[in-house]
Amino acid sequence: MTALRTAAGLLLSVCLASAQLGWFGHKRHAAKKAPREEGMIGVVVQANPTSFVVRADDMRIITFKIADSTIYFHGPKWVSPSQLKRGAIVSVEASADSEGILTAEEVVFRDAMPALQLRPPASAMLPGGVQDDPLVQKAREASGALFSMLPNFLCQQSTTRSYAGPDRHWRTLDRVTAEVLYERGRESYRDVKLNGRRTGRSMMDLPGSRSTGEFGSTLRALFEKETEALFKFHSNAAHAGFSTAVYEFAVSGNRSDWRISAGSQMILTPYTGKIWIDRKSANVVRIEMRAEDIPELFPFRSVTAEVDYGPVMLPSGRYFLPERAENVSCDDLKSCSRNVIEFRNYHKYVGESTISFDVPDPKP
């Protein structure tokens, strides 16, 4: 699969601090120096005059900036940058800035197609799992009905971002607030503030760890038939006042819509987790997810996410919507970042419009 896939599931994106940069670790060198053999190898899936995107042999999707100093080889010979196009097989040496944005230093064109690493199937991650458990099917139908009837709404989102070192003591870094607009099945963010101050940025343009998808993309992606998620009954449990059935689940990397980004790198990760389903209504009241099979050269060794749902009253009825979410990502040094997200003040959204009664100037 050489084309980039558009993922609609939960997105976790992290801008790395300089201390976390080490997965390339190459120093800039003179342009006349012979090409180095080490470095990632993959297939170019997008290219333009300023950047190119490679699907690496370990299934990372990596965006490289092109600089005036970027040099190109085929074997020991210099070649034209015009060879950098979709379908080209390349190995790349790169440098990284403080936010993990990669700039290509050397691009070596190769003749052999890399052997892509196999992704674990869902059946290997959850032996005995099935797609069509009766209660899971009811939850799938309840989820579909929810999103078909859910009205446009607004709510307030508050995200507390924290950091922990090897001592595992969480230290608050900052607090991000925003107004979340859910309109026609899509969520967007406005009035984004950092520590109470307006930023003038979108949610995903903020530095640091951030996520989207808690309002429906996560559940819809899990329950879609195309995802081919496997489920396995785990236990019965009382949770938040509901009598629930807890199921384990697994989604293969080839079917996953969970994107995790770090600087210039992105993975569509296989994942496992648990889901709590209210036995009476078949509504999902909690979901936990863990990224699996993270490539060795990706900046993070572990990533987890969880969302708690609860009943919310809107003028048109009662709906199960997110109340709280938490995302945690950790690197090789056992330093971790955590986002704790709370959703409050749900209310109906009415489209904004402007009516003008100005009389246009008469034509001369």
DSSP 8-state class, residue 198: E
Is the same domain home to 87 and 191?
no
**CATH number of the domain where residue 56 is located:** 2.40.50.320
Its domain, for residue 93, covers 1-11+33-117
Is the same domain home to 160 and 60?
no
pLDDT of residue 23: 29
pLDDT of residue 283: 95
Is the same domain home to 278 and 253?
yes
- Minimal CA–CA distance to 208: which of 9, 10, 13? 13
Please state, in angstroms and rounded to a whole number, the distance separating the CA atoms of residues 2 and 101: 22
- Give me the torsion for CA of 28, 26, 265, 263, rounded to 10°: -60
| Ramachandran angles phi, psi of 258, nearest 5° | -90, 110
Alpha carbon 265 to its chain's center: 11
pLDDT of residue 361: 55
Is the same domain home to 237 and 338?
yes
pLDDT of residue 9: 43
For 176, the token pair is 């991000």
pLDDT of residue 214: 75
Is the same domain home to 113 and 127?
no
pLDDT of residue 14: 43
- Minimal CA–CA distance to 101: which of 2, 14, 5? 14
Is the same domain home to 239 and 180?
yes
pLDDT digits (tens, 9 = 90+) for 72-87: 999 889 999 999 999 9
- Return mean pLDDT, the chain: 84
Is the same domain home to 201 and 57?
no
pTM: 0.82
Helix (H, G, I), strand (E, B) or coil at 88: coil
Domain count, the chain: 2
**Residue ranges in the chain modelled with pLDDT below 50:** 1-10, 14-38, 353-357
Please state, in angstroms and rounded to a whole number, the distance separating the CA atoms of residues 238 and 232: 18
| Ramachandran angles phi, psi of 225, nearest 5° | -60, -35
